[in-house]
Amino acid sequence: MRLPRAARHPFFLRTLARGHGHELAPLLREYHLQLQVVAHVRGVISPSLITLTQSRVGAGIRLFGGDRVACPLRLWIAVPSSLVEDVGSKDERTRRVGMIARAAAIFRAERIFVFRDPLSDRPHDAEFIARILEYMATPPYLRRKLFPVAEDLEKVGLLHPLGIPPHRRSRELRPGEVREAVLELVGGRLYADVGVGRLLEYVGRGQAGRRATVVVRERNGDFYCEEAQPTEYWGFSVSVVDLLPKLVRSSRPSHFIVTSKSGAPLGGSLDALSRAASSDGPVLVAFGSRRGLLEMHDREVYESLGALIVNFIPGQGVESVRTEEAALAVLAIMRALGELARGSPGQRPGSGAAPTGQADGPRSGEA
């Protein structure tokens, strides 16, 4: 039987071969077919026999064989200082930034960069955006110690919490538990505030007033803590930077993706995006504001940096897609491509982890 055109697309065949055919079955619902495909991807999986049964009432796929590999996608996000430029009230400005933070956490972004929009006359908005992001990324039990009362944080009570692993900690200590802490100097020795109402002796490098990631230990019935690395997604760090091209040159991500309504259609970019999503290095995804990224800099500037310029929402049903809306759509696509290209959902130990103990204080479009 000859496969329909949609099923002959290389992206579709690779997806079947890597054990995710069930996720693409809805794409073939208009076809009524039964087929068997023997797929082999050298160096990735062993041969897999895939039986796809299609009927008028739905699709079912049975997969036999095939090794599944955890998805290592490392996401970095860049948003412009003009993100809140067109919003008048502080309530809405705060909410918009909060939605970016939620999107970043949902899809396990490691870093968020706030870059300067060269066409904006409000450069100080970058600090406002970064402050809100840093506040949200900080465990609630550390916020009072790290964030003095400030006008920028007046409306943070409106935001939905992130609920990421370092935020979900009880007041009961357990040996082996990893926590975020603030270091304090007492009597010439470093102690850690881990949110349980008392300080723990700290073993490791660090400086008073700074955050650290620690693991709780027990010795002779007493708890202490050591410098540690997270073993699960640990949230994102935040940085305010200058222009986007400078950021790309200095941070050198493995792939750089520019989201733009004037970019190449998503359908024709799937192979390139899949390669990016399956790479071991960080993938930087940049978003615009009410001004698109191609208004901030010429296309040639991005192309000289090796950017993939992609329209992730072709045929959009609204006049413009807001940055926070685009972030959800784009990051969902990138995460899905990463999982399809590399195997089952998940992550490497420590993937997406924020740096430990070395940062000062709180860590800080178009589609």
In a domain, 355, yes or no: no
Residue 273 located in a structural domain = yes
Same domain, 251 and 328: yes
The boundaries of the domain holding residue 56 are 5-64
The answer on 203 and 329 residing in a single domain is: no
Select from 176, 206, 227 the last residue of a domain: 227
Which pLDDT belongs to residue 358?
Answer: 36
Give the Cα separation of 324 and 293 in Å (integer): 15
Does a structural domain hold residue 361?
no
Structure tokens at 231: 């073993």
**Cβ count near 212 (within 10 Å):** 26
Q: Assess whether 256 and 309 both reside in one domain.
A: yes
Contact 301, 249 (CB under 8 A): no
pLDDT in tens, the chain (367 residues): 444 444 444 444 444 444 444 444 443 333 333 333 323 332 333 333 333 323 222 333 222 233 333 447 899 999 999 999 988 899 999 999 999 999 999 999 999 999 999 999 887 899 999 999 999 999 999 999 999 888 889 999 999 999 999 998 788 899 999 999 999 999 999 999 999 999 999 998 889 999 999 999 999 989 999 999 998 999 999 999 999 999 999 999 999 999 999 999 999 999 999 999 999 999 999 999 999 999 999 999 999 999 999 999 999 999 889 999 999 999 999 999 998 876 644 444 344 444 333 333 433 355 6
**Residue 208: which CATH number?**
2.40.50.140
Does residue 348 sit within a domain? no
Q: What is the pLDDT of residue 168?
A: 83
Domain identity same for 57 and 204: no
Same domain, 117 and 262: yes
Eight-state DSSP code of residue 84: G
Instruction: Identify the domain boundary among 186, 201, 227.
Output: 227
Confirm whether 367 is domain-assigned. Answer: no
Residue 14 tokens read as 């690779």
Instruction: Kindly state whether residue 94 falls inside one of the protein's structural domains.
Output: yes
Whether residues 17 and 130 share a domain: the answer is no
Q: How many domains does the chain have?
A: 3
Residue pair 195/134 in contact (Cβ under 8 Å)? The answer is no
Asked whether the whole model's pTM tops 0.95, one would answer no
The predicted pLDDT at position 343 comes to: 61
What per-residue confidence (pLDDT) applies to 367? 62
CA distance 215 to 224: 9
**Do the domain assignments include residue 246?**
yes
**SS3 helix, strand, coil % of the chain, rounded to 5?**
35, 25, 40
The answer to whether the CB of 237 falls within 8 A of the CB of 111 is yes
- CATH number of the domain that 261 lies in? 3.40.1280.10
Q: Are residues 54 and 190 in the same domain?
A: no
Is residue 362 domain-resident?
A: no
Whole-number pLDDT of residue 3: 45
Residues 80 and 182 in one domain: no
